[in-house]
Amino acid sequence: MKEITDYDKRLVENREVLEASFIFCLWKNPELFDDYNDFNPSTELMLNDSRFYYSLGKDMSSLNYKSLDHASIYGHLKDNEETRNKFNSLGGYQTVDKMCKIISTENVESYYDTLTKSNMLLDLNDKGFNVINELERFKKMTSSQLYDYYEYQLDDIFLNRGSNVEIEDLEITDEFIDRCNSGEERGLSYSSTAPLMNYHTMGLHKANVQIFAGFSGTGKSSYVVSSYVMPILDEGENITIIANEMNIDAWRHLFLATVLSQKLGYYGLTRKKQKTGSYTPEQLAKIKEAQQYINENYKGRLKFVKIYDYSIDDVRRIIRKMSKRGFGYFIYDTFKSENAASDKVTGELIEASKTLLQVAEKEEVCIIITMQLAIYMENTRYLTASTLSNAKGVKEVVSELILMRKLWDDEFTGKKYDVKPWRYMKDPITGKINGSKEFLTLDENKRYRIMFLDKTRNDEDDICVISKFDGQWNQWKEIGYCNPMHQNRV
């Protein structure tokens, strides 16, 4: 950022107040430093005094000071003459006390947003945009509104020039036939991990959004890592995980367990043991081997983004940004309404799914979103879109809808609601499927999941696939098809 004197005075008007209001909110409640731990004073503050106060407050906060009062400040500075002299030259505690009395920590988000907007305007000015002419309009906007304003202006310019609109005859061209014949209409294959579901969905398709949904605790994220993330990486593609619930370490444990079992064939380290530590030499050696495998095969191609709300605008911006960096596949975990208490939740989720489809089509990427199934539907045997929590209408937007639940005790082989699992048999000579069915016996000591393909645009839907699941090593194996009853559990 340039010096304050390098800018038109109208652009840096009240800059001292903007920076001081935000910084002294943090001083007034030092716990707020943790909420803004990604704040970079060297790029977001222009004034040296502001940087001084921020750094001093940050240092004391990191030492667990709960109140930056007169005694604690001078106690902290007693052995640092240079910093103490600087603090006194700025008015000492009297300056701090005066500022803290006139600001409210309840407005910290507003102060931060105003500061962010000011920095955005300076950056736009540096890049040649004439922001002075619209400055009065911008003063009434939030930083998000400013972003949307410029995005709209650019989209409007290019749309009017025809850059994003093509009108063509819908005809069957030779080029289209050649693409179909070469297999380009197939999506990225994940048959290595889920051959049956891959067959019916014809892979993972770009310019599309698909939903993988399940009840809480059924292993949605585990399935996503094993059945989607791994094949995408193995095909040499790049993928970004956007998460608003599980943190990065939880995903690391899933990823590590999957690599250990799938790639190294090692089953001596469960996910639980990963977290408890005290590894044996063998276990530590295998972790290092997995680390090396990941670095050699996947380094730089798997990104993780943690967001702290359910803002679809943030998700859209992340996808647009990462798509420009060569990332063609995205996992969004978990898709929910920004305001679950709103009486317009259903409509908001449908609109949000439309937004994701638009960005998928525009950026030519594949977006897989996980969703929670409605708790009150947990006794439903045969899952359909009606079990989606507050969002049945999103089925009309997405290309694939897969729903998952646990196999219940009364559905095992020989039980009252036996799901009668089966698979097609192969001709012993040709190796091709001959249409005959082989019925399977389920082991009551194992855990199983049923996947319901409720919608696909690439094959027939209403297909049920049963998989064996071992959560200790994140192992998933499709064993065949099944036929769950439509009668609900009482």
Q: Per-residue b/e over 473-485, b at no fewer than 16 CB within 10 Å?
A: bbbbebbbbbebe
- The residue among 485, 487, 486, 483 whose CA lies nearest residue 421 is 483
8 Å CB contact between 457 and 399: yes
List the end-to-end C-alpha distance of the chain, in Å, as a whole number.
65
**Secondary-structure class of domain 4-131 per CATH:** mainly alpha
Distance CA 317, CA 355 (A): 11
Q: Are strands 329-333 and 366-372 parallel, antiparallel or unpaired?
A: parallel
Res 373: pLDDT: 87
C-alpha triplet 118, 122, 127: angle, nearest 5°: 145
Q: What is the CATH number of domain 195-401?
A: 3.40.50.300
Tokens for 183? 């297999």
Structure confidence at residue 162 (pLDDT): 47
Q: Is 360 exposed, middle or buried (0-12, 13-18, 19+ CB in 10 A)?
A: buried
What phi and psi, each to the nearest 5 degrees, are found at residue 223? -65, -40
Q: How confident is the model at residue 156, as a pLDDT?
A: 66
Peptide bond into 334 cis (omega under 30): yes
Contacts (Cβ under 8 Å, ≥6 apart) of 116? 44, 143
- In this predicted structure, what is the pLDDT of residue 153? 80
Nearest to 54 by CA among 69, 81, 71, 32: 32
- Non-local CB neighbours of 84 within 8 Å, separated by 6+ positions: 74, 77, 78
- In this prediction the pTM is 0.66
Q: What is the pLDDT of residue 181?
A: 62
DSSP state string for 445-485? TS-EEEEEEEEESSS---EEEEEEEETTTTEEEEEEE----
CA distance 32 to 24: 10
For the chain, give every domain's residue range: 4-131, 195-401
- 3-state per-residue secondary structure call for 442-455: CCCCCCEEEEEEEE
- Locate all alpha helices (DSSP H) within 47-91, ordered by sequence: 48-62, 70-77, 81-89
pLDDT means per 10 residues, the chain with 490 residues, are 84 91 93 89 92 93 90 90 92 91 92 93 90 89 88 70 50 65 72 93 93 92 95 96 90 93 92 88 93 94 89 90 93 74 65 92 94 88 84 84 95 95 85 84 96 87 93 93 85
